[in-house]
């Protein structure tokens, strides 16, 4: 083997290594884009679900306040009826009608399965939104880890091309693999 053949062999080997590294960088850049998108979506979902949970709790509290006001009004009317036993029959009837109306509304505020606007349904909705928010919050850090590892991996792989340092390729590829696993865990929450 002469010097020319040896040089061609070295250049051919170096080109293959550079091509392999460039392909690895391209794949990791694609995975980085997906991880970034996943992290962004998880953060948006956490914020949105937190707002929806807060809204459901606020509506629940408003219903509770209205319900309490009606309970007080109904009790006040019942006390007035008890204080004045000689009240005219038509007035008693009107008082009782209003008391029954208040109690019916009080019960309706407790649960409205048709409209899903009762306290029971609102509390359930708020808890569902909290669960969705908590799920997104568990996903988000994994995407952050993935992004960091993938960015470092891409830098190390780029330096391995420029400096022709095979160890950097191995470290970069390993970090890229960990970044990929972190991204997958962000979507699937296996760990």
| pLDDT tens by residue, 55-83 | 999 999 999 999 999 999 999 999 999 99
Calculate mean pLDDT across residues 83-99: 93
Would you say 50 and 133 are in contact if contact means Cβ atoms under 8 Å apart?
Answer: yes
Tell me the average pLDDT of the chain. Answer: 93
Section 7-29 average pLDDT? 81
Query: Is residue 5 situated within a structural domain?
Result: no
Tens digits of per-residue pLDDT, 99-154? 999 999 999 999 999 999 999 999 999 999 999 999 999 999 999 999 999 999 99
Q: Which contacts of 130-139 are long-range, i.e. CB under 8 A and separated by 24 or more positions? A: 130/49, 130/53, 132/45, 132/49, 133/45, 133/46, 133/49, 133/50, 133/53, 135/189, 136/42, 136/43, 136/45, 136/46, 136/49, 137/42, 137/46, 138/189, 139/38, 139/42, 139/186, 139/187, 139/189
Q: Name the percent of the chain in helix, strand, coil, to the closest 5.
A: 90, 0, 10
Domain boundaries, position 40: 22-188
Supply the DSSP string of 39-64, one letter for each residue. HHHHHHHHHHHHHHHHHHHHHHHHHH
What would the two tokens of residue 83 be? 């204080």
Q: Over 90: is that where the pLDDT of 15 sits?
A: no
What is the C-alpha end-to-end distance of the chain, expressed in Å? Answer: 54
CA distance linking residue 82 with residue 117, whole number of Å: 34
For the record, the structure tokens of 150 come out as 């993938």
Question: What are the structure tokens assigned to 64, written together?
Answer: 């509770």
Question: In the Cβ-directed half-sphere of 37, how many Cα atoms lie within 13 Å?
Answer: 7
Whether residue 105 contacts residue 70, with contact meaning beta carbons closer than 8 Å, is answered with yes
Q: Does residue 110 fall inside a structural domain?
A: yes
- pTM > 0.85: no
- Number of domains present in the structure of the chain: 1
105: Cβ–Cβ under 8 A, 6 or more apart, which residues?
70
Task: Answer whether residue 177 is part of any domain.
Answer: yes
Per-residue pLDDT band at 13 (split at 50, 70, 90):
low
Tell me whether residue 91 is in a domain.
yes
57 within some domain: yes
Q: Is the pLDDT of residue 6 over 90?
A: no
Residue 176 lies in a domain: yes
């Amino acid at each position: 083997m002469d010097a020319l053949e040896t040089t061609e062999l070295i250049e051919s080997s170096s080109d293959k290594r550079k091509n392999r590294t460039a392909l690895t960088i391209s794949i990791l850049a694609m995975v980085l884009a997906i991880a970034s998108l996943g992290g962004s979506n998880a953060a948006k979902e956490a914020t949105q679900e937190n707002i929806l949970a807060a809204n459901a709790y606020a509506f629940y509290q408003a219903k509770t306040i209205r319900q309490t006001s009606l309970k007080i009004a109904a009790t006040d009317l019942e006390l007035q009826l008890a204080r004045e036993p000689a009240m005219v029959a038509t007035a008693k009837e009107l008082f009782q009608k209003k008391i029954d109306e208040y109690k019916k509304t009080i019960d309706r505020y407790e649960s409205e399965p048709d409209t899903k606007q009762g306290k029971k349904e609102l509390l359930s909705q708020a808890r569902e939104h909290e669960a969705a928010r908590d799920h997104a919050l568990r996903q988000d850090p994994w995407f952050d880890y993935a992004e960091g590892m993938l960015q470092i991996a891409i830098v190390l792989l780029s330096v391995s091309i420029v400096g022709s340092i095979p160890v950097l390729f191995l470290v970069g590829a390993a970090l890229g693999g960990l970044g990929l696993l972190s991204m997958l865990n962000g979507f699937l929450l296996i760990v």
